[in-house]
């Protein structure tokens, strides 16, 4: 089994993608890098991606969890996965994330707190997971205080990745098309499932770049 991989989702990339790749190489040099193209119409900056990175022009239309699921299905032989957007740029190494060891069952996420119903679309969330293996999500109280996982991004070992990617199965099984709303909802549901594992907040170790992208 291979060691570690950083999967970066992008759409119509700009310099943010190049900066994120550069800093992943700087702070996480033991990680291979795979770039997932989420149906870009402008691929100019892909020409600047280092040759040792893999680019998957898979035209992913299923937002972050679609990108992660595509990658895990095709590259399921790594021990540890870092799934991030191209606008999440590492600014230092996460303390305790050892180069040679990994605490299985520890998930690193970008925390935020909210009620499950915040931002509306709670009914959408219920309908997605009703009559699925994750039916319990549809029965949660709308007033439940959760710790979401911003941008549905996380770091986790191979054995437990499916714990999170199971969220995508509901869309596949029900043949549901995804929209920006589903991207917002996945931040909440990723957080709900992440709470089943040992969870660490990593906002301090990344810089989020806002805007400057033509989606």
- 188: nearest Cα among 164, 210, 205, 161: 164
Let me know if residue 215 belongs to a domain: no
Let me know if residue 144 belongs to a domain: yes
pLDDT at residue 2 in the model = 87
Let me know if residue 77 belongs to a domain: yes
CB atoms within 10 A of CB 92: 12
Let me know if residue 136 belongs to a domain: yes
CA 157 to chain centroid, in Å, comes to 13
Parts of the chain with a pLDDT under 50: 213-215
Length of the chain: 215
Domain of 129, CATH number, reads 3.90.550.10
pLDDT at residue 212 in the model = 53
Which tokens belong to 204? 């301090």
Give the CA distances from residue 142 to residues 115, 125, 139, in Å, rounded to whole numbers and listed in that order: 7, 10, 9
Give the CA distances from residue 192 to residues 163, 204, 207, in Å, rounded to whole numbers and listed in that order: 11, 21, 24
How many domains in the chain? 1
Q: 41: domain range?
A: 2-208
């Amino acid at each position: 089994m291979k060691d570690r991989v950083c999967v970066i989702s992008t759409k119509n990339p700009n310099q943010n993608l190049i900066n994120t790749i550069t800093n992943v190489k700087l702070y996480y040099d033991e990680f291979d890098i795979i770039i997932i193209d989420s149906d870009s119409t402008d691929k100019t900056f892909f020409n600047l991606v280092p040759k040792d990175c893999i680019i998957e022009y898979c035209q992913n239309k299923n937002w972050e969890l679609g990108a992660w699921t595509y990658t895990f299905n095709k590259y399921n032989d790594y021990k540890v996965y870092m799934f991030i957007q191209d606008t999440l740029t590492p600014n230092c190494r996460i303390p305790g994330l050892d180069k040679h060891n990994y605490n299985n069952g520890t998930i690193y996420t970008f925390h935020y707190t909210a009620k499950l119903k915040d931002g509306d679309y709670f009914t959408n969330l219920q309908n997605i997971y009703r009559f699925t293996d994750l039916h319990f999500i549809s029965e949660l109280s709308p007033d439940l205080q959760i710790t979401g996982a911003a941008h549905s991004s996380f770091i986790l070992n191979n054995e437990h990745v499916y714990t999170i990617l199971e969220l995508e199965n509901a869309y596949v099984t029900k043949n549901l098309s995804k929209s920006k709303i589903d991207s917002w909802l996945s931040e909440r549901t990723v957080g709900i499932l992440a709470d089943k594992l040992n969870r660490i907040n990593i906002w301090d170790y990344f810089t989020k770049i806002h805007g400057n992208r033509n989606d």
